[in-house]
């Protein structure tokens, strides 16, 4: 496995792979790698060169404290990459926003203004810029992204369809622990007590799905579910039933819909979703 923090050497290595006729799978990460990332690595098609990036992108953070406190474990991350047959790791040194943020007049799709986009102004613009930056260097044949960040996944698919039509996006199911908690790097910032409470998030989503399929009214169910979460110390930013295609709010017709949540525990922001 090779590791570089220099764009030129990274680009040269990619050109070397391509000159040999290798297919490349790109897995962008922000580090602090956990089992969810390892599943992303495992979904790379066989006989492709696996390339990972490790970079905490300041452009997608709306809270400087959140950015500064984002968990980092670089040496451990490299060991995880080695064990998962990553051939090349690109870990830019320092803040590369001056390289990434040069494109002007970017018009993102309407769905980026919902959910996390409504609450975190500029977040998806930052995601768009960094992923396009990496894609422009690699022009990957495949790229792996998780369904936990479903809104991000839709944006990546839009980006690929618009600018990188030869790149196939592989979406990967959310990885959960034994308590059905969606794995997240931010979980390491929770106290033990709060960590044990996170199972309530999935429990609530699962119960909502069951009740909706029985015919419950969306608005009433949302109100009851938010009250339940708040009474258990989980502050809800949003809890919505939305189309999996457009992210428009769902009516009582639930075909191709999902339940989406963003919430806070110990001032740590967590997101999750399930399909109905």
d(CA 108, CA 62): 17
Tokens of 253: 């017709």
Is 37 in the active site?
A: yes
Distance, in Å, from the CA atom of 169 to the CA atom of 20, rounded to the nearest integer, reads 23
Closest to 132 in 3D by CA, of 95, 102, 109, 174: 102
Q: Look at residues 11, 49, 36, 9 and name the one whose alpha carbon lies nearest to residue 141.
A: 49
CA distance 232 to 225: 11
Length of the chain (residues): 276
In our burial notation (b when 16+ CB lie closer than 10 A, e otherwise), range 186-223 reads: bbebbeeebbebbebbbebbeebbebbeeebebeebbe
- For 231, phi and psi rounded to 5 degrees? -70, -15
Strand order in the sheet with 142-146: 2-4, 88-90, 48-54, 23-29, 142-146, 168-172
Catalytic residue among 37, 98, 123, 235: 37
Catalytic (active-site) positions: 37
């Amino acid at each position: 496995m090779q590791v570089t923090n220099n764009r030129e050497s990274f680009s040269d290595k990619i050109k070397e792979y391509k000159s040999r006729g290798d297919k490349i799978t790109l897995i962008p990460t922000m580090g602090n790698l956990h089992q969810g990332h390892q599943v992303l690595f495992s979904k790379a098609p066989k006989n492709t060169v696996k390339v990972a990036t490790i970079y905490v992108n300041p452009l997608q953070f709306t809270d400087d404290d959140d950015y500064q406190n984002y968990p980092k474990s670089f040496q451990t991350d490299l060991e995880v990459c080695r064990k998962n047959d990553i051939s090349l790791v690109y870990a830019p040194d320092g803040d590369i926003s001056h390289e990434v943020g040069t494109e002007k007049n970017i018009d993102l799709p309407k769905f980026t203004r919902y959910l996390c986009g409504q609450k975190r102004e500029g977040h998806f613009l930052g995601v768009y810029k960094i992923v396009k930056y990496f894609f422009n260097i690699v022009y990957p044949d495949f790229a792996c992204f998780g369904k936990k960040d479903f809104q991000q996944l839709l944006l990546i698919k839009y980006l690929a369809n618009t600018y990188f039509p030869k790149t196939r996006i592989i979406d990967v199911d959310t990885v959960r622990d034994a308590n059905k908690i969606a794995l997240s790097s931010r979980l390491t910032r929770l106290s033990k007590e709060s960590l044990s409470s996170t199972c309530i998030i999935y429990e609530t989503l699962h119960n909502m799905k069951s009740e909706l399929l029985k015919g419950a009214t969306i608005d009433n169910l949302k109100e009851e579910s938010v009250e339940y979460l708040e009474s258990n110390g989980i502050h809800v930013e949003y809890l919505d039933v939305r189309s999996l295609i457009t992210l428009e709010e769902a009516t009582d017709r639930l075909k191709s819909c999902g339940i989406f949540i963003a919430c806070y525990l110990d001032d740590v922001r967590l997101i999750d979703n399930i399909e109905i």
